[in-house]
Amino acid sequence: MRYYSGVMNQLYFPLALLLACCAPQRSAAAPQPATPPAIQRFVLPAVSPSAKEHAAYFPRLLKLALDKTVASDGPYALAYYGQELTSLRRNTELKNNGVINVMWDGTDRQREAELLPVRISLIKELNDYRVFLIRSEDAPRFAAVRTLDDLRRLKAGAGTNWPSTGVLRFNGLPVETSGGYEYLFPMLRVKRFDYMPRGAQEAWAELEQHPGEGLQVESTIFLHYRVPFYFFVSRSRPELAARIERGLRLAKKDGSFERLFNSIPAFQRGMAEITARKRRVFELRQP
């Protein structure tokens, strides 16, 4: 595992001699130097190449929050685990204090029962609105969808452990799953399923990572259900959650959180799509 940029403040104190003014016959005693504060280490999951632009926001936001808390909480270091993990493996490793100790993802009841969320939404309402990655040849089929019953005739593709998978199934929408995010793109191309619901912050950036594959972002439909994106840590590490929350609140207060959010083109595109109100919105019930 390699350690990357983080704050590594070391505090050094010069040695000072304490001279006994009243007993010159005693030998002078030299105090021990103050112990530098411990470095708090945060180990993050690797960022998928197909999610490079929007996913890189989350480590940047975490670093921003930790920078805000150096004065109160001391130095820190950020590292990325060297191998990409599936969503299920990330959950398991975090729950068991394994190879990572912080992650970011959409929330659901099961995830919050196993992990400790930092309850500050990281991407506003972007993850609540789902657009579809589809094969370009199927655009007319989706343009003809007028009801949820129409959509139930088509099959979605999603990750095995994604919160959205449970929501789709709860609403009677057929789902083909995969344990690996990257496998979903070839599965869509070879017609294992018909559409891949993605957050409004994700779809356009992901499409750019898969040029020339006959895919596009469907232009007429939103699925809407609330799935806030949070940072998560192990339930046995509440001190990590507390520090992250303090830093995020400070970043919100001074405007740096908002500035970082607005600097991400994929987020701007997603917010514009939501506020344009040009799509049919299908409201889904939560399990």
Q: In angstroms, rounded to a whole number, what is the distance separating the alpha carbons of residues 281 and 268? A: 20
Domain with residues 2-115+230-264, CATH architecture: 3-Layer(aba) Sandwich (3.40)
What is the DSSP secondary-structure string of 26-89? SPPBPPPPPPPPPPEEEEEPPPPGGGHHHHTHHHHHHHHHHHHTHHHH--EEEEE-SS---HHH
Look up the pTM and report it.
Answer: 0.81
pLDDT-derived band at 84, boundaries 50, 70, 90: confident
**pLDDT of 3 above 70:** no
φ, ψ of residue 20 in degrees (nearest 5): -80, 115
Of 3 and 35, the structure prediction assigns the larger pLDDT to 35
Can you tell me which residue has the tokens 């109160």? 72
Distance of CA 15 to the CA centre of its chain: 45
pLDDT, position 51: 53
Q: Do 126-227+276-283 and 2-115+230-264 fall under one CATH topology?
A: yes
pLDDT, position 244: 99
| Pairing label, strands 40-44, 76-80 | parallel
**CB-side neighbour CA atoms (13 Å) of 25:** 0
Domain at 126-227+276-283, CATH class: alpha beta
Return the domain boundaries, the chain: 2-115+230-264, 126-227+276-283
pLDDT, position 31: 60
pLDDT-derived band at 143, boundaries 50, 70, 90: very high
pLDDT, position 56: 86
Q: What percent of the chain has pLDDT over 90?
A: 75
Q: Whole-number mean pLDDT of the chain?
A: 88
**pLDDT of 11 above 60:** no
Tens of pLDDT, residue by residue over 33-83, are 666 679 999 999 987 655 566 778 999 999 999 999 999 999 999 999 989
Q: In angstroms, rounded to a whole number, what is the distance separating the alpha carbons of residues 3 and 206? A: 27
For residues 140-167, average pLDDT: 96
Instruction: Output 66-73 pairs: Cβ under 8 A, ≥24 positions apart.
Output: 66/6, 66/7, 66/42, 66/243, 66/244, 66/247, 67/7, 67/247, 68/246, 68/247, 68/250, 68/251, 68/256, 69/243, 69/246, 69/247, 69/250, 70/7, 70/9, 72/246, 73/40, 73/243, 73/246
| Pairing label, strands 156-159, 175-178 | parallel
pLDDT, position 47: 79
pLDDT-derived band at 19, boundaries 50, 70, 90: very low
